[in-house]
Chains A and B, each alone.
Chain A
Amino acid sequence: MNDTPFVPSFDDDSASTGRKLAIICSKGNLDMAYPGLILANAALGEGIETHLFFTFWGFDMINKKTMEHLKFSYLGNTAMHPPGAFGVSMPQGMAGLPGVTALTTAMMKKQIADLDVPEVPEFLELIHGSGGHLWACRMSADMMKLHEEDLYEGVEGIISATDFIELTDGAQLLFI
């Protein structure tokens, strides 16, 4: 090695080179809430400007009344197997029985908590605190008759799809 110290490249100019990520969250199931939150958090940790747009059922992720109570059902998910029991199938019919969704939700929440991954409201705080931008969909708000006061405080505004497309000009986009 020569005398110049070998220092990791932190690409501090990535903000100025303008890498942006836009994530559209359209699902309100517990298992479908996490991919967007985890990727947003990872992107923010890499210094990437990140915008999340909550639309349709994804509104449940930012609605104060529902954000803590997202549920997981394996109805319609033929890939479902019990935790760790790969190759063991679970009868689809069972998923529709009363109480099963509560059970599978509790199981999934425990698995997530065991990894020290926060629940949805705390995750939104983490993203907000990391400088992530949270946007609510105008049409969804109108359909559900919801207003800014009904939504998680970190949501910057209720905006139209056009607004979102405008402000994520040049961004990489994920639809979840």
Chain B
Amino acid sequence: MPTTTIAGRTLDVNEEGFMTNPDQWDEALGAELAKLIGLEMTEAHWAPIRFLRTDFAAMHETPTLRRVSTQAGIAVKDLFALFPGKPAKKMAYVAGLPKPKGCV
């Protein structure tokens, strides 16, 4: 399994660069990951990221964009504004989780 070093930490990642061990993550690392993809974290960014972490812990699956929107009560439009382009994948990356698998 490949590894990469980010912020002085050695992280297990998959072939695309997504972290594969959620236990290696904390919010300080999340902020570093965000910087690497050009995002500066604000409280508005953290709300969905924290939801992703708790939902993944419960469901063992990264929530889809719609699930984040309906369960965390954040408008899809706002998620696109916070994580432009590919919000579901970017949120998963910042949260140190795999890409969501669900279709909707």
Contact = CB atoms under 8 A, between A and B. Distances in A.
A46 interface: yes
Given A12-B38, A15-B85, 13 more contacts: A1-B3, A1-B4, A1-B5, A6-B17, A7-B36, A7-B37, A8-B18, A45-B65, A45-B88, A47-B84, A116-B67, A117-B103, A131-B77
5 contacts: A1-B5, A8-B93, A10-B85, A38-B103, A118-B104
Nearest to B65: A45
SS of B interface (majority): mixed
Interface string A108-132: 0000000111100001001001110
A6 B88 contact: no
Contacts of B67: 116
Interface of A: 1, 3, 5-12, 14-15, 38, 41-42, 45-47, 115-118, 123, 126, 129-131
The 7 A-B residue pairs with the shortest CB-CB distance in the complex, in nearest-first order: A129-B76, A6-B4, A47-B85, A8-B17, A129-B77, A5-B6, A8-B16
Contacts of A15: 85
Interface in B61-103: 65-67, 69, 75-77, 80, 84-90, 93, 103
Given A1-B4, A8-B18, A117 B37 contact: no
Given A1-B4, A10-B89, A130 B80 contact: yes
Interface residues of B, number: 30
Contacts of A42: 103
B41 interface: no
Contacts of A14: 85
B89 to A, nearest CB: 7
SS of A interface (majority): loop
A130 to B, nearest CB: 5
Contacts of A3: 5
A46 B86 contact: yes
B96 to A, nearest CB: 12
Nearest to B81: A131
B31 interface: no
Contacts of B6: 5
Interface in B16-60: 16-18, 36-38
B76 A130 contact: yes
Contacts of B75: 129
A6 B84 contact: no
Given A1-B4, A118-B66, A47 B86 contact: yes
